[in-house]
Structure 1
């Protein structure tokens, strides 16, 4: 029996209603998604993880499977391109797309810069709201750009799709709104400069969530709060992404022996499932990649900085762990100190954090951009001083 995209699309709509995921302040989004259904921007081949590798799901050979990849869950992206065995482009999860466009506070007539065209669906939804000729979209992959142009034209939308690196090329005129669909470790100041004073940017940061930044009237900074949590594709122009999981840890550790060993009196279970903690650690020690595993002794963790420093925290079975470390920095000690700091700050959640971007640096802050604790963004000193 063929399920069909229409039924699955209706079920996804109902699931979003049940969860309250259609934002009240942006009722236009539900209308736009209905008018521009996701399948109109999906290629005929999608990719599914089978537990070992990404395998193709073709629309003609497996129409039901293809439809389920698109509409199975509101929080699941549909992988549209695989390069070197890893996803390199996707149709972002419908719930995430809606959440980010809601955060953009988009109004008719706004001029919009959409960064990372992909298949063109995000640009299409923005154009539905902003109006004809009000959206310019940048895509570094010429093949994806051509695909998106075709789908946008078929939908009757006038969107300019430009093949370019968005970190080096900006629109000719200032925009009112900027939205990126891939994650950056640092928000380029050129993006802020491209947005008029009083405008807004919505940008995925650190592959964990997205922030909404309001550009100051003096155009000297952009600042705002974390808006949502999700994992995003990485910036292709930033170079290859270090291997994840145990492979990434093994590549950094190599065959070297530990340089230090000590007992840590802490149960590591929250590292596996407490996303408030994981987000806080990502803020405080942005270079730390953390992998966890569980056996009869409890949760163990393996940490590295994608360079030369690593730590192995091995559960003993009595609520403590033995930590082994090596490398130029003690990445495990840094992680434990950040964990203790988070507890001392009252265990804040992701929505208690925000970000400020200035020409000379950027930082993440807690509760208040002026008086709250702050941490420098990855790879840069914070404007206004180090973490405090």
Structure 2
């Protein structure tokens, strides 16, 4: 076996060892084995150093490039960075497999993909649905052109359209399956309108998980449940949220805030998802800092309010700035979640109609809904 083939096989073997292949969709494994990931990667990818993204070029450092293109099953490959932020990537194999399983595509299905990116996911879909059955829309003209060339070079037939996947859908066409490779806060009704009754829509939702929706037989609604934790890049309409930790690093520590919750639990998928449901406009990021086990969480409302929460041992230090007291909001949301029985991510579902999105838990889409909490305002140390 060649070195290239060994590198390709390594993450696939890790998928097997971790029991990550979907049992109900054996075609997913077959497609990933037949459609190598590296055929869709650009010659220059980006690797996070802990402080910034650095370019890794295939011609200069082929081993480092191969390692970045074939990471472990939970690793993604960043293929585009704009203004120091990643704006396109090849998603991790584990979540790609989960989403393709949830999509339940069959040979002959007409499939619409939103967000072509590198073209790898579109090629996997083509491997399943067949020649000429996959349409993919990409808003970035350069990405669309590169994906088209890579897909054709790999011998697949996918219709690539340059346009806005949230709105610019093929006129007069209906699809059996719709899948998005970027996160949306609200599933565009146009996606439901272009999906045949009984069809499936799979999309990252709320930046913390992916949902699989089934369109009702009358086409008037779509309902489904969360499938897996997942953090995807948002639709480009979402804009760029501020990075509060950069301000803190520059010495802007804000005003003291109160939080009695353990910061490390922010990283738990159930907690993170519940907070997203109750505080939909609050971005939450966590990471371990240093070697002493210290955990830091950054909160931002995407405008001017932020909070930084640091934990060492049992002590929590919190600072905030802006009109909203995000530390207080998180504490109230956490309490509200506990008061409703602390449901896990997989207990949550989404029911959408032309004019409404309802988040629910349990088996009844028409049961009690989860409503976002009102923002909390508070004074800061600023004068």
Farther off after superposition, 90-99 or 306-315: 306-315
1:334 Cα deviation (Å)? 2.4
Report 1:122-141 matches (<5 A). Answer: 122-141=121-140
Report 1:144-163 matches (<5 A). Answer: 144-163=143-162
Are 2:282 and 1:288 aligned? yes
Residue 319 to residue 297, structure 1, CA distance change in 2 (3 Å): farther
- TM normalised by structure 1 equals 0.86
**RMSD across aligned C-alpha pairs, in angstroms?**
3.0
Q: Distance in 2 between matches of 1:372 and 1:294?
A: 40
| Per-residue Cα deviation, 1:27-72 (whole angstroms, up to 9, x for no partner) | 1111111111111111111111112211111112211111111212
Q: Distance in 1 between matches of 2:247 and 2:25?
A: 41
Q: Distance in 2 between matches of 1:358 and 1:73?
A: 38
Q: Distance in 2 between matches of 1:113 and 1:127?
A: 11
What SS does the aligned partner of 1:138 have? strand
Give the conservation status (yes or no) of the 8 Å contact 1:245–1:291.
no
Residue 319 to residue 146, structure 1, CA distance change in 2 (3 Å): closer
What SS does the aligned partner of 1:136 have? strand
Q: Distance in 1 between matches of 2:24 and 2:192?
A: 25
- Aligned counterpart for 1:346 among listed residues 341, 347, 369: 341
Report 1:172-321 matches (<5 A). Answer: 172=171, 173-236=173-236, 238-247=237-246, 264=259, 266-290=260-284, 302-311=298-307
1:347 Cα deviation (Å)? 2.4
Structure 2: runs of 5+ lacking an equivalent:
375-383
1:196 Cα deviation (Å)? 1.0
Residue 308 to residue 249, structure 1, CA distance change in 2 (3 Å): farther
Structure 2 residue aligned with 1:357: 352
Farther off after superposition, 107-116 or 303-312: 303-312
Residue 6 to residue 312, structure 1, CA distance change in 2 (3 Å): closer
Residue 132 to residue 332, structure 1, CA distance change in 2 (3 Å): same
1:232 Cα deviation (Å)? 1.0
What SS does the aligned partner of 2:97 have? helix
Q: Distance in 2 between matches of 1:160 and 1:300?
A: 44
Structure 1 residue aligned with 2:113: 114
Give the conservation status (yes or no) of the 8 Å contact 1:141–1:163.
yes
Give the conservation status (yes or no) of the 8 Å contact 2:229–2:269.
no
Q: Distance in 1 between matches of 2:318 and 2:35?
A: 54
Structure 1 residue aligned with 2:17: 18
Give the conservation status (yes or no) of the 8 Å contact 1:78–1:93.
yes
Q: Distance in 2 between matches of 1:30 and 1:300?
A: 37
1:247 Cα deviation (Å)? 3.0
| Per-residue Cα deviation, 1:306-328 (whole angstroms, up to 9, x for no partner) | 2244456677987576776651x
Give the conservation status (yes or no) of the 8 Å contact 2:131–2:158.
yes
- TM normalised by structure 2 equals 0.87
Give the conservation status (yes or no) of the 8 Å contact 2:175–2:196.
yes
Structure 1: runs of 5+ lacking an equivalent:
379-388
Give the conservation status (yes or no) of the 8 Å contact 2:349–2:362.
yes
Structure 1 residue aligned with 2:378: none
1:274 Cα deviation (Å)? 2.6
| Per-residue Cα deviation, 1:320-365 (whole angstroms, up to 9, x for no partner) | 76776651x4433322111012222332221111111211121322
1:303 Cα deviation (Å)? 3.2
Structure 2 residue aligned with 1:381: none
Structure 2 residue aligned with 1:40: 39
What SS does the aligned partner of 2:371 have? strand
Structure 1 residue aligned with 2:86: 87
